[in-house]
Structure 1
Amino acid sequence: MDVSTGPGGPLNICLSDDGLYATHVSGKALIVHSSVASENKEVQIASVKENGLKSLKYFNVGSSLGESDSQIASQRRILSANDARISVWQLTPLEISAEIEGIEPGALAIDFGADENEVLVFHAWHTKLSIHSLVNGRSSVIKSPKFAHHLGFGYRPNTRELAILLKPETSDLLTVHEPRSYDLINRMVLPTIDAQGLKWSPDGKWIAIWDIASAGTKVLIFTADGQLFRSYSGPSGVDDTFDFGVKQIEWRPVSHRGTSETLAVGKVNGTIDLLRTHTFSSVATLSHVFQAHQQSPNIWRERYTSAAGDADYVEASCSSALSMSPESAGLSRGVLTMTFSSDGCLLASVDTARQNVVWIWSLDGTPRLASALVHEQPVRQIAWHPSTPQLLINTVTNALPAIRWWSPQDHPLIARVPVQRSESGKYDVKWTTGSNGDSTFWFGSSEEHVIGYLAVQDGGVQFEVLNSISSRVNEGHVGGLGR
């Protein structure tokens, strides 16, 4: 989770990908909270060399088979950067393990590379990407990266080859590079007008690239070594007169067979094409349209229950859901969000035409709408639990901060969260990754985060706080540990 700040503002709270660490900067103090969800909460503080940090970034540690907790802990790093210096910190104990100085001004993005011992610097004006090795001090350069964000490049799962989109002149290029040495494996000129991004399949077999929407539906599938395998241009037998192109794509997680079996293609017309990877042809199309004549017990409507802003979910008909879901005016159409559950059996989506509705699709057997949740305000974020079919829904609200929870077996819930109200109405949510499958998560704004879980008490549901962290503290007071 990358965070940044404007001139003179505090650096926001930065969470590790697994949610087990939280970091922020106060003055010249780097403050790291660990064991945040346990009784033995720990805080480490270290001094940074100067004010003006622009970003914090965790290296996202993945647990490989056979790795011990101590091995995983030794891989944990956090990167801090300003206009001239990059510092890489180890977390146990908190101290600088490497520094890179003399950075060219105006860097577009700074991130970790293939592992915790590589740092990527995207230079101003997209002139080049520098990959710095913290092991041998050497640097590799790739010229003319098209983007300086995660859709412009990606590392192959497990083996860590780099695939990256380049734009040296008028044509888009795909290049694939060896891990560590970054020697060129393959270079392909793309038959695209303006490629919008690439994504590796979770099994590492495929690279998918999609073209700008004005080109119509165009998704290119490449093998892991950069050879063109298929080109998808929409379902067969469908009139393409109103083909408005692709908005985004998302791979289904690896199945029990060890393969990525489905690619979801979110379209500008508000539909989702599901492609099977053995042919990369469409097997089903999902449409974000309520059928008003149908009644469904799986549609839930948000209802306010008090003047104070408390709310719950009640069952609703399709016609009732339609009445709460006016078409958004002045916005381009398209699939706004798509995300698969950890087992790949469910897909949650939000469409820009009705941004207050979360659609949940079952992909077991014939794909179908399993449930829909209709809210008073636009949906900001949806997040599946990392191992069980639980969904957190976060809406934009400047009323009482609250979290919405859904599971296929239970009545969905809405619970107030005890954080300071944000005038923008924008909060963030992140599950923690626990070894015992716990259901703790973070909720908060740029200034304050709390971690806890939902508990049913006295017939109602409430958020139980385990820890709270505020970025509005000074070096002498790093409070907010527990409530």
Structure 2
Amino acid sequence: MYASPVFPSTPLCKASLDGRLVATLSAQTITVRSVVTLQVEHIVSLPSGLGPVTSLQWSPASTRLLVCAGESVHVFSATAVDGDFSAAIHSPLLPGEKATLARFGARDGEVLVCSPSGLKLAVFDLATATAVEIAHPKFHQSASVHRSYSVRPATAHLAVLTRRGGKDFVSIHHPVSRQVQKSWAVESVVDAQAVCWTPDGRWLMLWEAAAHGHQLVLYTADGQHFRTITGANLSDDPDAFLELGIRTCQPSPSSELCAIGDHSRGVVILQTDSWRKSAIFTHPVTIEPRDALHVWQEQLTISREGETVHTFQRATQPISPPGTPSDGKPMDTKPGCASLAFDASSTLLATRLDDAPGTIWIWDIVAAELRAVLVFHSVVTFAWHKHARELLLITAHSESRPGLSYLWDPLLPGPTPVVPDEFISARGSSVGAPAKAQISWINLDMDIPLALLSTPQQYRILSLGEGDEVPETWRGASKWDNAPPPKSNGGGFDPDISDTSMDDGAAVEDTFQFRKT
């Protein structure tokens, strides 16, 4: 595992959706750096008097950047190829409302702005400087606004979930003009929780609130009702209709499968060619390790330097995953599974029960069995790599070790810790304050997986390849062009750049060596 040179960062530091660029926003500029060459590709000068920036987002094709500041939204070119393009949208919201709920739409020239009060969803076309307003989007809070709309892959049709007069409605909008092509009331559902296209665009899904039982409503691409899946279709229990319903619904990247989690310990897998149940994965209360089922438990030890060392031991005896993690506070959690995701190949499914937030379960879809269980001391979340199959990034939410993450794939001897302190300064902006590090995937489609490690002051790009593998294009930006990469000395972070700051457009000398851990 290697890391790039250290680059200056800010709290707003994000990798592009295609994984080729990283943008950092400072007080006066946005600096865009290439992940491939590690060189600065573009610098955007921000307009004076912009005000506090609350959001930085990449466009779908990674050619533009969206900035939310106060009551306005700004879009800038992220590459020199797009020239010095810029656009400003002065929010058509109620007086005093902040434009915090702004997103790119189906393309780089489309922006969606939602009123925090839920009054309307405005779709702006930057090419024509026109807007289409959609009244009463159902969800209009920052954490849930994405459930109000969904863009159909390939064709870019926009499906929107609205609510008026105590009823839910779905509308499908033209991919260019955004005029309504079809709209209907959802008669069979009392309180719809989301609208979502499958990745292949064949189906439009909508599901009922859990309090009203199991209901997954399916529509064809042209808005025709196809089928409503109920508790009787998802369970063999004759009393399933009495149970709480769906918490989450996730189609696979291949669109051939759909996983449904509810308030039970089971996850249902549906085949989308028939929308019939193909498997039910039930999380056992007691796990019995065997040759085909690896159970890994995190072990904490203290080094001579007083640092906590994270290792994993394979369990040989039956275990029961703990409820509250050992370093966590008691939590008021709901039973069941609300966190699940397929890997890039659609052959593995990762799940987490809300009442056991420190345990991740890995299911083999083809064999229809549990393949691995990973037990941690902290509450954890997870994300599969978008392109590399069977590669999982796990993030621990620990106050004592912010940013601590782990890598897992079936061939590794347990999860491999990725400790931010080994790559980047652990000091924050004030004396004694730990840096709030984050590690996230860089979804570049290449043989060597990459991740972004960032704090409010610094960032590095991690190469997670085996042995000495790093992208060949990195070597021109390092000191070891004609020599093997230096090995880690096993200590802490070596180069001291605690005073590094954004220079508002000045080039940064990338002279720090790569290091290995």
TM-score by length of 2: 0.79
Please report how far the alpha carbon of residue 36 of structure 1 lies from its aligned counterpart in structure 2 after TM superposition: 3.3
Identify the residue that residue 391 of structure 1 maps to in structure 2.
Answer: 392
Measured in 1, the distance between the counterparts of 2:405 and 2:506 equals: 29
Measured in 1, the distance between the counterparts of 2:347 and 2:407 equals: 18
3-state SS in 1 of match to 2:284 = coil
Contact 1:193/1:215, CA 8 A, preserved across alignment: yes
Deviates more, 1:125-134 or 1:99-108: 99-108
Which structure has the higher relative contact order (CA within 8 Å, separation 6+)?
2
Please report how far the alpha carbon of residue 340 of structure 1 lies from its aligned counterpart in structure 2 after TM superposition: 0.8
Contact 1:299/1:318, CA 8 A, preserved across alignment: no
Contact 1:341/1:389, CA 8 A, preserved across alignment: yes
Measured in 2, the distance between the counterparts of 1:87 and 1:469 equals: 31
Q: Deviations over 1:64-90 (max 9, x none)?
A: xxxxxxxxxxx6000112233322111
Identify the residue that residue 419 of structure 2 maps to in structure 1.
Answer: 416
Please report how far the alpha carbon of residue 378 of structure 1 lies from its aligned counterpart in structure 2 after TM superposition: 0.7
2:279 paired with 1:277: no
Of 453, 456, 460, the residue aligned with 2:463 is: 453
Identify the residue that residue 345 of structure 1 maps to in structure 2.
Answer: 347
Measured in 2, the distance between the counterparts of 1:59 and 1:243 equals: 41
Please report how far the alpha carbon of residue 172 of structure 1 lies from its aligned counterpart in structure 2 after TM superposition: 0.6
Measured in 1, the distance between the counterparts of 2:216 and 2:457 equals: 40
Identify the residue that residue 228 of structure 2 maps to in structure 1.
Answer: 231
Identify the residue that residue 477 of structure 2 maps to in structure 1.
Answer: none
Of 440, 444, 447, the residue aligned with 1:437 is: 447
Q: State the number of aligned residues.
A: 453
Identity of matched residues, % = 22
Measured in 1, the distance between the counterparts of 2:499 and 2:134 equals: 39
| Residues 58-69 of structure 1: pairs in structure 2 closer than 5 A | 58-61=58-61
Measured in 1, the distance between the counterparts of 2:435 and 2:166 equals: 42
Alignment CA distance shift 1:306-1:276 (3 Å): same
Identify the residue that residue 168 of structure 2 maps to in structure 1.
Answer: 172
Measured in 2, the distance between the counterparts of 1:411 and 1:397 equals: 23
Measured in 1, the distance between the counterparts of 2:220 and 2:494 equals: 47
2:199 paired with 1:199: no
Identify the residue that residue 47 of structure 1 maps to in structure 2.
Answer: 46
Measured in 2, the distance between the counterparts of 1:282 and 1:197 equals: 21
| Residues 83-482 of structure 1: pairs in structure 2 closer than 5 A | 83-93=70-80, 95-101=84-90, 103-104=92-93, 105-106=96-97, 107=99, 109-148=101-140, 149-190=145-186, 191-234=188-231, 235-238=234-237, 239-240=239-240, 243-254=243-254, 260-293=255-288, 295=290, 298-307=294-303, 308-317=307-316, 319-320=318-319, 322=321, 329-364=331-366, 366-400=367-401, 401-412=403-414, 413-417=416-420, 418-421=423-426, 427-445=437-455, 448-454=458-464, 473=502, 475=504, 479=508, 481=510
Please report how far the alpha carbon of residue 264 of structure 1 lies from its aligned counterpart in structure 2 after TM superposition: 0.6
Alignment CA distance shift 1:463-1:315 (3 Å): farther
Of 39, 56, 67, the residue aligned with 1:80 is: 67
The letter for the 2-side match of 1:192 is V
Measured in 2, the distance between the counterparts of 1:460 and 1:283 equals: 51
3-state SS in 1 of match to 2:281 = strand
Contact 2:167/2:185, CA 8 A, preserved across alignment: yes
Alignment CA distance shift 1:395-1:463 (3 Å): farther
Contact 2:393/2:406, CA 8 A, preserved across alignment: yes
**Structure with greater strand share of residues:** 1
Please report how far the alpha carbon of residue 275 of structure 1 lies from its aligned counterpart in structure 2 after TM superposition: 1.0
TM-score by length of 1: 0.84
